[in-house]
């Protein structure tokens, strides 16, 4: 577990980063802060990194270069439902049933 004071330091040069943006915690999400390296000689100069802070003020293990993506699960469709989606809405060609023909 990393502390916020460690996480706010540049991963490359270990100098204190500058806070660029802070997003307060929302339900089910960590507070996230974006820091920027201001050390001109550093390879990460002007680069941002993301720090997440949980409700206890702890910083989960830093996972540089990996951004977790979460997609909501699609509802499971039964074979019947899938079949219905593929079926056309009109079984008959309407033009064949126009009056007067």
Candidate list 4, 13, 34, 50; residue touching Zn ion; CB under 5 A: 13
| Cα angle: 62, vertex 68, 66; to 5 degrees | 50
Give the C-alpha separation, 85 to 100, whole Å.
33
Q: Which residue has the tokens 């201001």?
A: 38
Cβ of 9: how many Cβ atoms within 10 Å?
A: 18
Which of 11, 30 has the CB closer to Zn ion? Answer: 11
Candidate list 39, 50, 58, 62; residue touching Zn ion; CB under 5 A: 39
Which of 13, 87 has the CB closer to Zn ion? Answer: 13
Where does this chain bind Zn ion (CB under 5 A)?
A: 10, 12-13, 37, 39, 42, 44
């Amino acid at each position: 577990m990393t502390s916020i004071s460690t996480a706010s330091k540049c991963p490359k040069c270990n100098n204190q980063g500058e806070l660029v943006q802070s997003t307060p915690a929302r339900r089910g999400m960590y507070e996230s802060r974006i820091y920027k390296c201001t050390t001109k000689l550093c390879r990460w100069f002007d680069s941002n990194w993301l720090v997440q802070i949980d409700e206890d003020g702890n910083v989960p293990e830093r996972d540089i270069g990996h951004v977790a993506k979460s997609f909501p699960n699609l509802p499971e469709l039964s074979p019947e439902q899938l079949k219905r989606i593929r079926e056309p809405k009109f079984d008959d060609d309407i033009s064949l049933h126009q009056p007067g023909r």
